[in-house]
Chains A and B, each alone.
Chain A
Amino acid sequence: MKNVQKSKRANKSLPFFFKDEFKVSFVIIFISLILLFTTFTFDVVPPILNRGIQPATFPKALLILIIAMTLIIYYLATKNPWKIEKKLPKSFFLTLFSFILFVIVSKTLDFFLAISALSIFVSYCWGEKRLFYLLLVGIIFPIIVFIFFETILGLRFPPGIITNIYYS
């Protein structure tokens, strides 16, 4: 309880643009405005074919609602500030990086290799240093999953340097 009060006090002393409530509200409103702008580019149905409302009307209404509600939470936060969240640890950023790595490897090299690389990387970054367990999560388990999906569900994985060898 004391910590919460302390962190709330700390939050009050920050300039408004450094506060979480401002950053979060700003991001939501900024993205909503971009999407709202996009809705004006949707095709318009000619009156003779139009039944009910235009396809853009419903998303527009939703986005305006989201912006309005975000303004309300920001206004409420100025009266009752959010508590400051703890700084994110290095392991979080490494895991996030592994997601990016996964996208790049799966797109350029191989889907299976991407799963394998991410599993070993994450397991290692989270503190697993024993080779057997790294091989278990990075190679043995993905192979089991791969074979299971391939044989039981009849799934065909996207082509890549390793999957091509398997399929040929």
Chain B
Amino acid sequence: MDNLLLMLAPLFSSKLLLVLFFGTLFGLILGVLPGLGPTTGGALILPFTMTLDPLSAIVLLTSIYCAGTYGGAITAVLINTPGTPAAAATCLDGYPLAQKGEAGRALGMATVSSTVGGIFSVVILVFFAPILAQLAYEFGQPEYFALAIFGLTMLASIGEGSPIKNLIAGAFGILISTVGKDFMTSIDRFTFGINELTEGIGFIPVVVGLFAMSEMLTQSTLINQVFNRIALKAIKLPSKDDYKKTWKTILRSSGIGSFIGVLPAEGGTVASLIGYSEAKRFSKKPEEFGKGSIEGIAGAEAANNAATGGAMVPTLALGIPGSATTAVILTGLIIHGVRPGPDLFREQPDFLYGIFGAMLIANILFFIFGFFGAKIFARITLVPNKILWPMIFAVSVCGTYSLNQSIIDVWIMLFFGVLGFFMRRYGFSVVPVIIGLILGELVEGTLRQSLVIFDGNWLMFFTRPIALTFFILSLIALAFPLIRSRKIKKNND
């Protein structure tokens, strides 16, 4: 009962309500704009959160996360371009349905299923995060090391890209985290005599560079691309018949999305693809998928929004990001002096339940905004890139500079922008770099501390049951993409 009251606290604070309102609105705008999205948007807004108290800052970031994930569906349905990667599966049926003159119905289903998925995942978060946090009390340094390794091996199965390329990108992210003074011995590593690098490479320049600047370079190659935008008259709530057809799909995808979200490093993109394919598998009319199936939209959208709450579970309970956007939220927590993990649940329940409540309200708010404002948000896609991206550049540069007031950070951001562009061009996802960077310190720190505990005996890792379980899961995570590709190859043959 007390926890429920704590969850409702944001409703009684005008400041938090204002932050929620702004965050949801901003998240929707970011989600609608192709190439932006909650991860880049969260990174861009992170410096601004320094003026807020920790709870308001995290509420702002989580509301951007929830609304941004939904916002991607608007662009997916109307211009066949996912506003966020997580909305890619929504294009498959959303756009064909819009082409049939049913854009309002497609967006109505996307809005309802996103809201249900989002709320479902918050319930999962409220129940499972404290349990996981309780479990984490059993963890010592070796267990955290094994957990971080599990998180990294999960990178192998991110998206449709090459698992080895994802692992290389993840290892590169960890390598970036080693730049600067070694935390145990204060010895300089990879600083090349540059004083500014002794503190290490900051998260914000890397994330803004890899996401925003690399996207700016990508957009520079697409300036002649013309989008066919389908006109939206009004968004329509799904009919009784639509609900009958889709309620099972929505619930199933909500469960799938929440589960996928909980897995370290996975996120909305993987969740929506699995949610979509499972909706097709269970459908009575699988032949309609790809041609404007309402079940397809429901399956993808419920899953990607359900992944938001799921991804917050390991982020808050263990300090392991569940997705790229939660990596930004994790950074937000750290720069505001909040240390995620089991102690957070014991010492600051009001803070945690405030976040849970804010996520719940954000899901309701984006339903209202989406339902009444989808037509207006759809118009945002009309802002030409030649106006939009120079503006994003100005905000990116000032935002990156503002954290440490360092011009070197801006140059690092530009460097990672160029690097991110070429990484994406040659099939290397940039998300593993971010996850690697976040987990790098944890991996190295726990490894070295474990070796001190074990007196340098590596084999001792395998005598700890929890650590051993995570190592076995890591092996499964590495083998899974291999099995999947063989299965696909066999099916094709």
Taking beta carbons and an 8 Å cutoff, which residues of A are in contact with B? Answer: 20, 24, 28, 35, 38-39, 42-43, 45, 49-53, 55-56, 58-59, 62-63, 65-66, 69-70, 72-73, 76, 82, 85-86, 88-89, 91-92, 94-96, 99, 102-103, 106-107, 111, 115, 118-120, 122-123, 126-128, 133, 136-138, 141-142, 145-146, 149, 152-153, 155-158
Contacts and interface: CB of A to CB of B under 8 A. Distances in A.
A122 B405 contact: no
Interface centre among B184, B185, B447 (most CB of A within 10 A): B185
B168 interface: yes
A52 B448 contact: yes
Contacts of B187: 42-43, 45, 55
A103 B405 contact: no
A65 to B, nearest CB: 5
Contact of A91 (B220, B394, B427): B220
A126 B216 CA distance: 11
8 contacts: A35-B175, A51-B184, A53-B451, A63-B175, A65-B171, A88-B221, A137-B391, A141-B391
Interface in B422-440: 425-427
B164 A156 contact: no
B221 A55 contact: no
Contacts of A136: 387
B253 to A, nearest CB: 29
Question: Chain A interface secondary structure, helix, strand, loop or mixed?
Answer: helix
A59 B407 contact: no
Given A99-B414, A145-B395, A126 B221 contact: no
Interface stretch (B44-52, B89-97, B366-374): B44-52
Contacts of A94: 220
Contacts of A55: 182, 184-185, 187, 189
B335 interface: no
A18 B140 CA distance: 50
B414 A133 contact: no
Nearest to A76: B164
Interface stretch (B72-80, B237-245, B396-404): B396-404
Contacts of A91: 220-221, 223
Contacts of B401: 111, 155, 157
B178 A59 contact: yes
Interface residues of B, number: 59
B449 interface: yes
Contact of A123 (B168, B387, B414): B387
A145 B399 CA distance: 10
B385 A56 contact: no
Interface string B167-211: 110011011001000101101111010000000000000000000
A70 B168 contact: yes
Given A55-B187, A70-B168, 6 more contacts: A43-B188, A52-B449, A73-B162, A96-B217, A123-B386, A153-B47
Contacts of B382: none
B403 to A, nearest CB: 10
Nearest to A141: B391
A49 B448 contact: no
B185 to A, nearest CB: 5
Nearest to A87: B221
